[in-house]
Amino acid sequence: MAQAFLFKESASQTAGPYVHIGCTPNFVGISGVYAADSGLRMLSDGTKGERIRIHGRIFDGANDIVKDGLVEIWQADAEGLYNSPNETRGAADPEFVGWGRQPTDLETGHFAFDTIKPGCVPASDGRMQAPHISLWVVARGINLGLSTRLYFADEPDANSADPVLTGIADPARRETLIAVRKGDSYLFDIHLQGALETVFFDV
């Protein structure tokens, strides 16, 4: 599987317990360097789409809450287009970048993203994927950032046809990627280990 390239990718190292200094400095009281922490606000008044909140906590193998983590999300706009030069299908909503970054709260471990529900994006074979959000999780004790996806519980038909979800052999494990809706909020807890261990992908 490993092919020979000119160079090897730089090896990963843990983000450590102080990742917030570099990624969300205002959050840890380092003010006056950056005007605002990147990725904190994803929406403007002009952003098209249904407003939703994604929130949750990260749990370790002892079911303790991870309070020094950082979560990033990446998603399409309401029409299913990515705001990226690598997007080949058209221009995404200029009022929506689609990237968010949130620390886990230092006391409670909660993270929350105010965003929009993404539209559908095709897989490489042209089949439609169910609406989803990509997540990337780093923290002390995570040697290489963990990639996962959030799907929406109120999209049962799309979920049951999604090539990534159905590619997960154990149907019970697919449930770890499905966020449950309550009002305008979707709860997405992440379990690093244990009976509820979240599915992580080799992307």
Partner 1 sequence: MSKKGEESLPGFNRRDRQWHPDAFTPAYRSTILRSPKQKLVMLEQTLSETTGPVFGQNALGALDHDLIRNFAKPGESPIGERIIVHGHILDENGKGIPGALMEVWQANAGGRYRHKNDSYLAALDPNFGGCGRVLSDENGYYAFRTIKPGPYPWPNGGNDWRPAHIHFSLFGSGFAQRLITQIYFEGDPHIALCPIVNSINDPKAIDQLTARLDMEHTVPMDIRAYRLDVVLRGPNSTLFENRMEGN
Q: Which of residues 69-88 bind partner 1 (CB under 8 A)?
A: 72, 74-76, 82-88
**How many Å separate Cα 196 from the centre of its chain?**
18
16 touches Fe ion by CB under 5 A: yes
Site for partner 1 in 131-190 (CB under 8 A): 132, 134, 136, 138-147, 149, 163-164, 167-170, 173
Query: Per the structure block, which two tokens stand in for 70?
Result: 């950082």
Would you list the DSSP string of 164-193? HHHTSS-HHHHGGGEEEEETTEEE--EESS
Give the total of residues touching Fe ion (CB under 5 A).
Answer: 1
13 touches partner 1 by CB under 8 A: yes
Length of the chain, please?
Answer: 203
For residues 104, 76, 145, 18, the Cα torsion angle rounded to the nearest 10 degrees is -40
Nearer to Fe ion, 16 or 163 (CB): 16
Nearer to Fe ion, 10 or 124 (CB): 10
Q: Which of 195, 197, 193, 157 is nearest to 177 (CA)?
A: 197
Give me the residues paired with residue 152 across strands: 179
CA angle, residues 161, 123, 80, in degrees to nearest 5 = 90
Per-residue x/- mask for partner 1, residues 17 to 56, rule CB under 8 A? xxxxxxx-x--xxx-xxxx--x------------------
Q: Which does 195 bind (CB under 5 to 8 A by kind): partner 1, Fe ion, none?
A: none
Give the total of residues touching partner 1 (CB under 8 A).
Answer: 90
Q: Which stretches of the chain bind Fe ion, using CB under 5 A?
A: 16
